[in-house]
């Protein structure tokens, strides 16, 4: 197994310990999901799991871990170049966040954390470009990775607290989400 493959395996295993099989909680804005992949996402991405030319709840039922891993690899890991991250823990946390709350928000939280840890701010736009990767890996390579990871987790925790305060129907998820944020 190559280093790149090992990084992905570490990250996807971290993610899949949080994202279980089929879930369809009426209070969860994600709607029907399997292993963290929502029906809404499958429709937006045009991914027909069961191959019947219709993307519906049956595609969520048909989703298994093998196909899930393939989707995470191509649609998240490769698409956003997470393999370029020099820290297994931060790469895994970023994949987890991107699946959980969307890549744009996850990437902004990363950029905000970078700006809190380093002196030279980068643009907070949710796009992972060269400047973000250089700043991110620079912090990791100068032993500030743990501080950065702590800031990322703080950003997620603040988001969850505010989200649940603004949306009382989500309060039942708060403790579980906060636990996940802190891992």
The whole-model pTM stands at 0.93
Average pLDDT, the chain: 95
CB burial string 58-94: b at 16+ within 10 A, e below: ebbeebeeebbbebbbebbbeebebbbbebebbbbbb
Tokens at 33, concatenated: 């999901």
Chain CA centroid to CA 142, Å: 25
What's the rounded mean pLDDT across residues 79-99?
97
Asked whether 66 and 16 are in contact (CB, 8 A), the reply is no
* Higher pLDDT among residues 3 and 92, named by residue: 92
Percent of the chain with pLDDT over 90: 88
For residue 46, pLDDT beyond 90 = yes
C-alpha separations of 108 from 46, 83, 95, 111 in Å: 26, 18, 13, 5
Tokens at 31, concatenated: 């709607």
93-142 pLDDT per residue, tens: 999 999 999 999 999 999 999 999 999 999 999 999 999 999 999 999 99
pLDDT of 29 reads 79
* 3-state secondary structure string across 1-63: CCHHHHHHHHHHHHHHCCCCCEECCCCCCCCCEECCEEHHHHHHHCCCCCCCCCCCHHHHHHC
CB atoms within 10 A of CB 154: 16
The DSSP string of 99-131 is: HHH-HHHHHHHHHHHHHHHSSS----SS---HH
């Amino acid at each position: 197994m190559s280093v790149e493959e090992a990084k992905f395996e570490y990250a996807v295993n971290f993610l899949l310990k949080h994202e279980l099989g089929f879930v369809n909680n009426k209070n969860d804005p994600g709607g029907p999901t399997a292993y963290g992949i929502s029906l809404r996402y499958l429709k937006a991405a045009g991914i027909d799991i069961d191959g019947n030319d219709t993307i519906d709840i049956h595609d969520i039922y048909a989703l298994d871990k093998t196909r899930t891993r393939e989707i995470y690899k191509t649609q998240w890991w490769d698409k956003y170049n997470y393999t370029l991250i020099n820290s297994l823990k931060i790469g895994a946390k970023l994949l987890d966040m991107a699946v959980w709350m969307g890549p744009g928000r996850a990437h902004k939280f990363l950029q905000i954390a970078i700006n809190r840890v380093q002196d030279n701010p980068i643009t907070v736009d949710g796009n992972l470009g060269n400047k973000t990767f250089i700043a991110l890996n620079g912090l990791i390579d100068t032993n500030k990775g743990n501080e950065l990871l702590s800031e990322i987790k703080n950003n997620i925790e603040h988001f969850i607290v505010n989200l649940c305060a603004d949306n009382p129907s989500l309060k039942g998820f708060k403790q579980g989400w906060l636990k996940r944020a802190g891992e």
